[in-house]
Structure 1
Amino acid sequence: MKKIFVIGLGPGKHEYMSMASMEAIKASDVVVGYKTYIDLVEDLIKDKKVISSGMKKEIDRCEIVLNEAKEDKIVSLISSGDAGVYGMAGIMLEVLNKDGSDIEIEIVPGITASNGAASSLGAPIMHDYATISLSDLLTDWELIKKRIHCAGEGDFVVALYNPKSKGRQKHIEIARDILLKYKDGNTPVGIVRNAKRDGETVRITTLNDMLNEKIDMLTTVIIGNSKTYVKNNKMITPRGYNL
């Protein structure tokens, strides 16, 4: 049987993985993924052929998955979070399309970083929100800035992915300054590191003060809208119910 699963592992802890993702991994002959994500499910794949690789090898991994599936195998390609949100699902579909293959593919969803972080903060994304990655490896920085302006002008709650790396120290500062053009400086901001993983830290601060907190590539930053407030150390963005 030939089949490809593209699986979102969620944050990585087994209790936050779906039954569907567990069953897909169980049914697979081969599991392929970035080494860090392979390590998250190491105990589930001891009887599988495992192929791992490093950063910036996404296309190579998809081609490996395709070649393994052509050998009449069931193959799982794994991502953290949801495979369709900054994950491997789109790349895998494009590789399949380019090859002209008719191999069956199933995308298995997972808990995203924004969903995991939001649950630790309270309910900050109860209303319209935008997720924006600050990584400019695959998207032009000028376009990213334009999207931040639009999200700010539209009074969206904003979830920032990939907010700061060793090579991108200033992007988060620029993003904050753009949002200050549209949002009050006292707008609540939630900063969650290692959301729903071991070592999780949760901080609630303001747009004015957010840069005083530790922010790195393991961090998700959620910036409220004009109605977001903090009560009992929980961020809440009301939908407008009459209470």
Structure 2
Amino acid sequence: MASQSPRSLGILTLDIGQPHHSVDLEGPGSILNPASVGCPVILETVPGAWSERVVRGDPELATAYVAAAQRLVERGAIAVSSDCGFTIRHQAAVAASIDVPVAMSSLLLLPTLLRQLPPRAKIAVLTFDSTSCTDDLLGLDDPDDRARVVIGGIEGSKYWHDELKYPTPPTDVAAMEADVGECITHLRARHPEISAILFECAGFPLVASAIRYLTKLPVYDITGLCRLMIASVA
């Protein structure tokens, strides 16, 4: 699935202890699926970037992410992204190290999405782990903006447990859909002002269509941000 086409998107992938699974590479919506991002993809595993280290925010990973991003550019990537939204912690370091557009996380969209909605509306940020999705990752300086963001996570779920294993087993898409659906249902019951959903987790696009159907709300994720990058430079 990887390519060295001059129009390739470079994706920094988690170190899952084995080759990435076919469901992740081929599943509709997956960031690793070229059809999801509108161009060929080049994958570069970041050594030591196990899910737990990335989610908890190990600062020692910054050097490895920068080096892997530089390798992607050398291989022909015209833009660079990541398969974990928590790598937004390395956004500045990676962007400063290469001369192509970088979008490490869908969380970069949050300030813009708030301005697309009326002031009374809220956005639900659906995350892999709400205990690690702290305010410093949201990019919001205005307390009024922060008050419009509701964070919900699926920590403790089957998908959460599976992703923290090493090697990481194949993705159980049905379990993910059930966990994400239950989370957003609970959030909307407490916050009926929710008018849009942002997936922090770069795995969640696999169930984006199902969640749009369930909620009848706009659902934004990393694949949409990647398509914007590619359309802008290709």
Does TM, normalized by the shorter one, top 0.5? Answer: no
TM-score normalized by the length of structure 1: 0.35
Quick check: which one's helix share is greater? 2
State the structure with bigger RCO (CA 8 A, min sep 6), 1 or 2.
2
TM-score normalized by the length of structure 2: 0.35
Quick check: which one's strand share is greater? 1
Max Rg structure: 1
